[in-house]
Structure 1
Amino acid sequence: MNEMTQPPAATPSATEFDADPVPRLGWPVGVVSERLGIAAPTLRSWDRRHGVGPSLRTSGNHRRYTELDISRVRLMARLTAQGVPAQSAADSVLSMDAAAIVEHLESSPGPASGTPDSNRTIGARGAGGTGGAPALEDSAALVEAIVAAARALDPRTMAQLYRQVMRRSDVGRAWVEVFAPALRRVGDLWQEGRLGVQAEHLTSELLQSELRAVVRANRLRVAGSPVVLAGADDEQHHLPLLALEAELARNGVASLFLGPRVPAEALVSTLRETRPRAVFLWASLPRQRTEAFWQHLAVVDWPLEVVIGGPGWSEGIELPDGPVTLTRVADFTTAVRTLVSSPGGLSR
């Protein structure tokens, strides 16, 4: 019999963990095997090698699974089905409390294990770019899989997960639903001292490589006046810009990527030399409402749309009189739509 063929039982709630229906006896491995559709030898291997197994003992010293133990097994099966190595999956599962396990299981309903149903999880990647593709399912499980690979410092698995996500949907949805949450989770774990800085660096560096691969793969499709992509002069975060560059490339829009920490004078000089139709500026750190850059735009004598994104920008920014317009975008999808459809761009 296949190890993972039976549909999983309904995910228990946090209260069910507290009210275990058999608190004294628990569930034997055979019952758990039938309940989850996972072969008993696999369950015993996960217990012996990775510590994901029964936590109760009977008076006769027989080990039994609690409801929480069963949910740990279910989540481990889901992670390994996503391609996460067993030890990495176990480390991730064992680091969670009951509430976190429930949250992950309920936020990504589907088979507990086995090969993911491609008809259910793979979204359309039509020519419509960020519009029309269904949202990624199992996004919480994919985030957890990336975090587990970061814990294990496993670049091969992490790169495979990044590519898998981008095959399922466009870069925009991949960024919003999986990549950005995974980066935040890894960053939080690092700040809490539960993950080394090397794991954070590996996570971001590999994602940069995969996003740039998307740009290279679409290089022959891009055309027209380029959009300038830059971070504010003291902004260090540039992964959102890379994701934006990749999604614009998928939409056939040329871009000039300047990256983070671009001095205002250098940015204005670039604008004068290239005369783009639009420039996107990213800021996650707080910015002043009145900055020298805005006044430098007085030298612009052609229609230029300045698009600003990120939580750092202040309200009430004033531009000098002239052909420059200012557009503030609240999210990634809106940024892509604005830059694709801005004057001189490609209409979709």
Structure 2
Amino acid sequence: MAAAAGRHEPSGGPGGPRPATPTLPTKGTATDSSAPGPSLTVAAVARRLGVAPATLRTWDRRYGLGPSQHLAGSHRRYSSSDVSRLLVMRRLTLEGVAPSDAARTALESQPTGVDGAPGASGEPRAAAVVDAFADAGPMAPDPPGLVAAAVHFDNAAVRWMLARVHPGDVVAWWTQLVQPALDALEDEVAVAGPGESAGPALTSAAYAELRSRAAVTASRTPLGADAAGPTILAVGCVPGAELLVHVLATALQEHGVRARVLSVGRPEAVTEAIAQVRPEAVLLHIHADEDGTTAGPSVEAVSAAVEAGAGLATRTGSRSEMPVFVHLEGAGRIALPAGADVHRVRTLTGALHEILAVVR
């Protein structure tokens, strides 16, 4: 795929045919040198863009996309305007555009200046990365490609794929792309360096994509995230599976239902969260093995949700109890509280449809 192919060297690398060199502006202009924001080394920019330092040096040598700031006693460094152009270059090469054409477009683009400047940590602001990917078209799910990008810590390619696959259907995004990729990473024997772990890195990128999607859906509501309407509380009761709960919450917001997430499903935390959020319904994600063993105090959390819902109904004068949905994964069965408005669902799609039927 294009993302994998463009990971290290652009086309026309050492030993290959060299593209025709375009007529390019002179690098290192005075404007770039005085651009606001901290300057970055080659290694720092390469790490943030998910490319090899050799690739940046090649782009500098061939196309003039090099660092423009000069500091006494040190190598040249990249300004915020330099990084902005490199983001455009990176996006276009991921799309499959020839490096020479991508470089021409990057050099002709308007730098983002302060808005796209790196933050205090040296990382380009999220807005700059999102803007660089904003005009890309959808792509088919490619779990092996996502795994390949993750194990090479190709951050730009990972974010690219996460943003482009099923942009309006986060459940399909999860089931067809992210979950298979995470499962494959769990099964892979990978020896990495200190601070390198592909699974958590991919999970972090997935959380970032969910935040982006939730922000987009909130922006389509007249009052944004503060708009009135029913709220669903999604509770994670399985350690290490919190991401799945965030996926369902994002899916609810895609359908116009506000959602809040409680990642720690301790009974006392569930009770407190229900009192704070006053939700229309609660969803708890639980895993049960064949022998009925659950991860964490799952059954106790369900009981706490039922009791808190009954108390909420009494305080508000509601005639009906708050529905509690239990998303149960695994082959086991658990005994749920009897006589309460408790619904057992086995799939994400089933949970989504049943909750929507209650709140609409």
Name 1:298's counterpart in structure 2: 307
**2:299 touches 2:334 (CA, 8 Å); kept in 1?**
no
SS at match of 1:304: coil
Determine which of 148, 165, 190 is the counterpart of 1:193: 190
Change (3 A) 1:248 1:298: closer
| 1:141-290 superposed matches below 5 A | 142-167=142-167, 169-189=168-188, 192-193=189-190, 198-220=197-219, 221=221, 223-232=228-237, 235-259=239-263, 261-284=264-287, 286-287=293-294
With the length of structure 1 as denominator, give the TM-score of the two structures.
Answer: 0.53
Whether 1:307 aligns to 2:304 is no
With the length of structure 2 as denominator, give the TM-score of the two structures.
Answer: 0.52
Change (3 A) 1:138 1:217: closer
Amino acid at match of 1:279: V
SS at match of 1:187: helix
Amino acid at match of 2:294: R
Name 1:75's counterpart in structure 2: none
Return 5+ residue gaps in structure 1 as ranges.
Answer: 5-43, 50-83, 87-113, 116-135
Change (3 A) 1:267 1:340: same
Cα distance, 1:145 vs structure 2: 1.2
Query: How far apart in 2 are the matches of 1:138 and 1:255?
Result: 28
**1:151 touches 1:195 (CA, 8 Å); kept in 2?**
no
SS at match of 1:236: coil
Query: How far apart in 1 are the matches of 2:308 and 2:209?
Result: 37
Change (3 A) 1:138 1:291: closer
Query: How far apart in 1 are the matches of 2:177 and 2:240?
Result: 21
Name 1:329's counterpart in structure 2: 345
Change (3 A) 1:223 1:171: farther
Change (3 A) 1:236 1:151: closer
Instruction: Figure out how many residues of one structure are paired with residues of the other and give that number.
Output: 216
Task: Provide the identity percentage.
Answer: 19
| Alpha-carbon RMSD | 3.6
Cα distance, 1:161 vs structure 2: 0.7
Query: How far apart in 2 are the matches of 1:255 and 1:188?
Result: 32
Cα distance, 1:48 vs structure 2: 7.1
| 1:66-105 superposed matches below 5 A | none
Return 5+ residue gaps in structure 2 as ranges.
Answer: 3-10, 17-49, 53-94, 97-137, 222-226, 314-320
Name 2:39's counterpart in structure 1: none
Query: How far apart in 2 are the matches of 1:300 and 1:246?
Result: 23
Query: How far apart in 2 are the matches of 1:240 and 1:195?
Result: 26
Query: How far apart in 2 are the matches of 1:215 and 1:258?
Result: 16
Cα distance, 1:300 vs structure 2: 3.1
